[in-house]
Amino acid sequence: MVMNALSTFCMAPVSVLLQAAMEAMSGLDLFGSKGSSLSTIQVQADKIAQCGAILQSLLPRESYSKVRLS
C-alpha cells in the first residue's frame, strides 16, 4: 500500500509537467518567422486531455483542484 501511494505521489507532478509542456509546445514553429506549417509542432488536444484525465485519476479530488492547469 505504501509503494502504491509513493508511486502516485511521484507520478502526479510528472503528469502536471507533461501536460504543461504539451500545451506550451502546441503550435510552436521550430524556425520562427522563417518556418512553415511543416515546421510547426502539432499536439493533439486529445493527448493534453488524456494527461489531465490521468492526473485527475491519480490525485484525490481536493488535490486535483489545487494543481489543475486550465
Note the pLDDT tens digit of each residue in 50-66: 888 888 887 766 655 56
Could you tell me the pTM of the whole model? 0.62
Is 70 within the bounds of a domain? Answer: no
Range of the structural domain that residue 18 is part of: 2-60
Decide if 20 is inside a domain: yes
Flag whether 18 is in a domain. yes
Return per-residue pLDDT of the chain as tens, 70 residues.
445 655 666 777 888 888 899 999 999 999 998 999 899 999 999 998 988 888 888 776 665 556 555 4
Report yes or no on 34 lying in a domain.
Answer: yes
Residue 66 falls within a domain, yes or no?
no
SS (H, E, C) the chain: CHHHHHHHHHHHHHHHHHHHHHHHHCCCECCHHHCCHHHECCCCHHHHHHHHHHHHHHCCHHHHHHHCCC
Q: Is residue 67 part of a domain?
A: no
